[in-house]
Amino acid sequence: MASQAQVNPKRQQELQLQYSNYKNTLQQLAQKIGDIEQEAEEHKLVIETLDPLPKDRKCFRMVNGVLVERTVEDVLPSLKTNSDGLKQVLEELLKQYKSKQTDLDNWKKKNNIQVVQP
């Protein structure tokens, strides 16, 4: 308690605001990562389902809210491209998350911050 009294209230408020900003950023990144992981998993399932099918079989794909009839041969390459893109985005988001987490840890050490959970 004595160490808290030594920090002036304005400085304490600034530190709390910075901590909240770090936490919010990390939470937003985690949410995006979860969304991308879910979408990548959906792509994977669809690709696994369509792969063994004959290439001339018709299938349907939603494009900008419109259901479009295509063949497996037309749809599979774009699905694989989208899936690869999602994996790259996911890797980049994970790097950003780790970087922000490291920044937060360094900031906590620099400012001698100890988080107390109620």
Model confidence over 29-66: pLDDT tens digits?
999 999 999 999 999 999 999 999 999 999 998 889 99
Q: What is the pLDDT of residue 2?
A: 44
What is the token pair recorded at 4?
A: 């808290």
pLDDT surpasses 80 at 3: no
Contact 55, 39 (CB under 8 A): no
Contact 90, 39 (CB under 8 A): no
pLDDT surpasses 60 at 83: yes
Kindly state the average pLDDT of the residues 7-32: 90
Residue 114 is classified by DSSP as -
Helix, strand, or coil here: 71? strand
CATH topology of domain 14-104: Helix Hairpins (1.10.287)
Residue 113 is classified by DSSP as -
Q: Kindly report, residue by residue over 107-118, the tens digit of the pLDDT.
A: 999 988 887 776
Q: What is the pLDDT of residue 1?
A: 41
Kindly state the average pLDDT of the residues 64-81: 94
Kindly state the average pLDDT of the residues 63-90: 95
Q: What is the pLDDT of residue 112?
A: 85
Beta bridge partners of 71: 58
pLDDT band at 103 (very low <50, low <70, confident <90, very high): very high
Q: How many CB atoms lie within 10 A of CB 75?
A: 18
